[in-house]
Amino acid sequence: MCGIAGYIGKKSISNKIIYSTGDLMKNRGPNNFSFSQYKKNKTNIYLLHSRLSIIDLNSRSNQPYEFKDKVLIFNGEIYNYLEIKKELEEKNISFETSSDTEVLIKALDFYKEEAFKKLEGMWAFALYDKTKNNILLSRDRFGEKPLCYKKTSDGIYFGSELKFIEKLSKQKEQINLTKSKKYLRYGYNSVFLDDETFKKNIYFLSPSTNAKIGKNLSLKKKIYWSLNYIKEDKQKSFGNHIKDIKKTFINSVKIRLRSDVKNIFCLSGGVDSGGVVSVAAKILKVKPSTYSIIDSNSKKYDETHLINKTLKDTKSKNYKLRVGKINFLREIDKITKYFSSPVLTINYMLYSLMLKDVSSRGFKVILSGNGADEIFSGYYDHYIYHLLDLKKQRIEFKKNLNFWKKNILSIIRNPKYREIKEPNKKELISVNDNFKSYIKKPVNLKFKFPKINKSRLKNVLIFQLKERLMPSLYQEDMNSMMYSVENRAPFLDRNLIEKTLSIPSKYFISNGYSKNILRTSLKGILNNSVRKNRKKYGFNASISSFKDINKYSIINYLKKNKVNLNQIIKFKKVNKYIYDLKFDKLNDEDNKFLFRLISLSSFLKTN
């Protein structure tokens, strides 16, 4: 896990600017900073790299890394590097290090574009070809590692973070007010439905995408992987599908445990993180250290009883972050300043504080259950799409509807998910438009919903990889890098998701259980108290649980940033809204909107 930045174009960049950029990159890579500079046909190329040493801690694996006529700067991990290395050795290719960096550059050199079919991991990299004088930018399949770019008339800047590009280009970009308004109105779900960032003129390279910067400084993009072509395997029995998923998931956890430093696991009370920890402890014979976030002030979010079940069952060591002891307003300013964006959801503010403590205890890698909800169908709205898929199968529909009414309906808080009906376009991204009236010149959200599959549920799952998962991955990456910790997500395995989506959609939910495929595959591994629990908690908390949060502290906080906020909100109307709220009875939507207000205000102030 590292930081990368670079430039290709007509300009020259001074060493002073390069080392100033390197100072910003230290969080991502505290173990080494290096850069390479090239000039060919009046084109200047700069490649910067800061290293967080995880695999092969020796300086021989520092970057930029050169092989033949190629130079690589790479952020991420290639988890199956040992298997690829063995293949290359059989083709008489020798190695000087034990790093995945050397494997990656030699795989790209030998296999060319075919290498992307072999790579299993998370990455954002730039590969400079000295002979052809071009740069290949690449981002992993799910967008676990960020990669941004900025095009100018003189060249193209790129980097892991927005502030690296601003520093290299000596240009502080203006706030993207359109993006800010969308976030305030629609929430985190809207943020990655396009490639814009919260700063003007800087864009994200999309996941599963390569971009080649050629001689004329054009940027040509190509998608190298897609879920659009996954076909259902109706011939295989459900039992054989489950065996396949179980084997693939165990292997995914196994290869993501490869490191030369200390690992720790996120642990909530859910199936996802509990499943990862249980596979590590029971199948792979690891003695896990775990970390949990506890909000004992909120019945909605306190899952201590379920966490304790997994801890006892796996004999895991556990550390805890308790929400009630946190000074919310002080901490959020620190995080938004580092992020160069708002903190998108309250749980990722908590996650940041957790990472701070994880880092202080000497852990360098953290594994989470991120991605399981989007892959296996873990959200309450997924029941609606599943039931709509079954409507033509009267017996199956009626059976599943009865389970839903008996076991799920009473625990659903969002009223939109309490009716079995085709959602409208706005409801696809969980929009509550009650807050539109507080925004000056509100911006409408435009997006395309994919209709790839006959199954409504599978179309939604694929859509939510961008709508729900990508914001989560971005925040997870920024949080972990803030404290020089590498984040890994075993559910985000190419083979696992391809095999899961090949299973007929009728199996995704069964007998009132979401994530039926995952739950069934974890039988005998994950304790039944967690495996059979239907209620969803997640790493979350109520804003009112923080010791410094009340209506007066929020109003005063926003008032101090009135000049900036006046560009976006109707200040008097928002003040009245906050003043009239009953903080001991906040509903979910008010809780989320208050957080967005504070987070956006903090971003405007610190950036």
Per-residue pLDDT tens digits for 208-218: 999 999 888 99
Using the predicted structure, report yes or no on whether residue 161 has a pLDDT greater than 80. Answer: yes
Using the predicted structure, report yes or no on whether residue 506 has a pLDDT greater than 60. Answer: yes
Least confident of 163-167, 232-236, 583-587: 583-587
pLDDT in the model for residue 300:
65
Type of residue found at 582: K
Specify the long-range contacts of residues 511-515, CB closer than 8 Å, at least 24 apart.
Answer: 511/400, 511/403, 512/400, 512/403, 512/404, 512/406, 512/407, 512/408, 514/376, 514/377, 514/378, 514/379, 514/380, 514/382, 514/383, 515/271, 515/372, 515/373, 515/376, 515/377, 515/378
Using the predicted structure, report yes or no on whether residue 544 has a pLDDT greater than 80. Answer: no
Whether residues 212 and 278 share a domain: the answer is no
Whether residues 411 and 481 share a domain: the answer is yes
Q: Does the residue 530 lie in any domain?
A: yes
pLDDT in the model for residue 414:
79
pLDDT in the model for residue 384:
93
Whether residues 92 and 9 share a domain: the answer is yes
CATH number of the domain that 21 lies in?
3.60.20.10
Q: Does the residue 79 lie in any domain?
A: yes
Using the predicted structure, report yes or no on whether residue 424 has a pLDDT greater than 90. Answer: no
Using the predicted structure, report yes or no on whether residue 297 has a pLDDT greater than 70. Answer: no
**Mean pLDDT in residue range 478-492:** 97
pLDDT in the model for residue 173:
96
pLDDT in the model for residue 18:
98
Counting beta carbons within 10 angstroms of the beta carbon of residue 238, is it exposed (0 to 12), middle (13 to 18) or buried (19 or more)?
middle
Per-residue pLDDT tens digits for 425-446: 666 666 667 789 999 999 888 8
CA distance 42 to 44: 7
**Mean pLDDT in residue range 153-157:** 95
Using the predicted structure, report yes or no on whether residue 539 has a pLDDT greater than 80. Answer: no
Whether residues 446 and 381 share a domain: the answer is yes
pLDDT in the model for residue 518:
98
Q: Does the residue 186 lie in any domain?
A: no
Per-residue pLDDT tens digits for 242-281: 999 999 999 999 999 999 999 999 999 999 999 999 999 9
Whether residues 218 and 269 share a domain: the answer is no
Structural domain total, the chain: 2
Counting beta carbons within 10 angstroms of the beta carbon of residue 337, is it exposed (0 to 12), middle (13 to 18) or buried (19 or more)?
middle
pLDDT in the model for residue 412:
85
Per-residue pLDDT tens digits for 224-241: 999 988 888 999 999 999
Whether residues 271 and 123 share a domain: the answer is no
Cβ atoms 245, 517 nearer than 8 A: yes
Sign of the dihedral defined by the CA atoms of residues 36, 41, 44, 47, in that order? negative
Strand partners, 486: 365
Whether residues 107 and 238 share a domain: the answer is no
Least confident of 131-135, 230-234, 467-471, 524-528: 230-234
Residue 404 three-state SS = helix
Counting beta carbons within 10 angstroms of the beta carbon of residue 300, is it exposed (0 to 12), middle (13 to 18) or buried (19 or more)?
middle
Contacts of 211 (CB under 8 A, 6+ apart): 136, 137, 138, 149, 205, 219, 220, 221, 222
Share of the chain above pLDDT 70, in %: 97
Whether residues 247 and 320 share a domain: the answer is yes
Whether residues 202 and 261 share a domain: the answer is no
Whether residues 287 and 170 share a domain: the answer is no
Q: Does the residue 348 lie in any domain?
A: yes
Tokens of 96: 């000087």
Whether residues 347 and 219 share a domain: the answer is no
Band of the pLDDT at 9, cuts 50, 70, 90?
very high
Q: Does the residue 562 lie in any domain?
A: yes
pLDDT in the model for residue 538:
58
Q: Does the residue 57 lie in any domain?
A: yes
Q: 392 is in which domain, residue-wise? A: 230-607
Cβ count within 10 A of residue 14: 9
pLDDT in the model for residue 417:
86
Q: Does the residue 184 lie in any domain?
A: no
Whether residues 245 and 393 share a domain: the answer is yes
Band of the pLDDT at 509, cuts 50, 70, 90?
very high
CA distance 527 to 172: 51
Using the predicted structure, report yes or no on whether residue 305 has a pLDDT greater than 70. Answer: yes
Q: Does the residue 549 lie in any domain?
A: yes
pLDDT in the model for residue 296:
64
Per-residue pLDDT tens digits for 314-359: 999 999 988 767 788 888 999 999 999 999 998 888 889 899 999 9
Tokens 């020089």 -> residue: 484
CA distance 448 to 461: 14
Question: What is the residue-averaged pLDDT of the chain?
Answer: 93
Band of the pLDDT at 379, cuts 50, 70, 90?
very high
Least confident of 110-124, 507-521, 586-600: 586-600
Helix (H) / strand (E) containing 50: strand 43-51
pLDDT in the model for residue 582:
87
CATH number of the domain that 317 lies in?
3.40.50.620
